[in-house]
Structure formats: structure tokens, C-alpha cells
Amino acid sequence: MKVAVTGATGFVGSRLVEQLHIEGHDVVVLTRNVNQAQQRFPSQVFTRVTVVAYTPMAAGEWQGAISGCDGVVNLAGEPIAEHRWTPEHKQLLLDSRILTTQHLVEAINQANPKPSVLVNASAIGFYGTSETASFDETSPAGGIF
């Protein structure tokens, strides 16, 4: 399979790319920082990984990299614990997830051939918190940011 991964240089993404590579899949790493991604996934070791520059919060030529992929995994998002949650930073937390997802969905719709699956991770705080309840994608939004 060929899988495009955003947020591939992060905590979850790095392990995912390693595992996909070990299992023999081709991986397209979409990143804001090509140098950093190439250091993380050196081509001598990660022979099936292609690093592509992208602008997650803006449409662009990068969207063409989705064509021919079987799946897309979106793990991109401004870290939630690095800065005080000012109104501006909260907007960045939202935009870096929502706009990125919108542009990926746009790219999937334009792709030929199209990927058949999008796996999208985001901040689970969306659902609120509970010591007893379980949440899944059908759960309503919680009352917190």
C-alpha cells in the first residue's frame, strides 16, 4: 500500500511511519519542514519514504501528492500543551486541525486515483471528560474547548 501521513514527524506519526516502512508500505510524508523530516527519516534507511513539503493551512500543489495513495493518515496539529491558551492560540489549535483536514479532504476529492480511507486524529478534548463514560466518534461535543 501507499499511505500519505501528515504530522509524521510527531510523537504518533514517527512510530507510524516506522511501522508502515517495516511492513513494506510506501509512505508519503507531508511536512512543513522538509529538512527536519529528512533527518527523522533518512533516505538511506527509509528507502520507501518520500518527503514532500506542504502548507497544511493553505491549498497548493502539494495536494497532488495524495493522488495514487491508498490511504491518508492525518496527525497534524499545533501541540496543545506548549503555550498558554490565549484566544489567538486557541484559534491556531483549531485552524491547524480543521483547515488541514479540509485541505486533505479537498485533495482526496481531486485525487485520481483516490485513496479509499482517511484516518483522522485530533484532540480528544472535543468530547469533554468523564471518569466513567466512554466516547467515540458518535459522541456529542463536550462543553469544554
Ligand X SMILES: NC(=O)c1ccc[n+]([C@@H]2O[C@H](COP(=O)([O-])OP(=O)(O)OC[C@H]3O[C@@H](n4cnc5c(N)ncnc54)[C@H](OP(=O)(O)O)[C@@H]3O)[C@@H](O)[C@H]2O)c1
Binding site residues, ligand X, CB under 6 A: 7-13, 31-33, 37, 56, 75-80, 92, 96-97, 100, 121-124
Please state the closest distance from residue 31 (CB atom) to ligand X, in A: 3
| Residue nearer to ligand X on the CB measure, 51 or 111 | 51
Give the H or E element holding residue 2: strand 2-6
**Residue 2's Cα: distance from chain center in Å?**
15
Please state the closest distance from residue 115 (CB atom) to ligand X, in A: 19
| Residue nearer to ligand X on the CB measure, 86 or 112 | 86
CB 63 within 8 A of CB 110: yes
| Residue ranges with strand state E in 7-139 | 26-31, 49-53, 71-74, 117-120
| Residue nearer to ligand X on the CB measure, 114 or 118 | 118
Q: Other C-beta atoms within 10 Å of 70: how many?
A: 15
For residue 22, give the amino acid letter.
Answer: I
For residues 86 and 46, give the distance between their C-alpha atoms in angstroms, rounded to a whole number: 39
Please state the closest distance from residue 45 (CB atom) to ligand X, in A: 18
| Residue nearer to ligand X on the CB measure, 60 or 79 | 79
CB 37 within 8 A of CB 9: yes
Please state the closest distance from residue 75 (CB atom) to ligand X, in A: 4
| Residue nearer to ligand X on the CB measure, 33 or 114 | 33
Please state the closest distance from residue 112 (CB atom) to ligand X, in A: 25
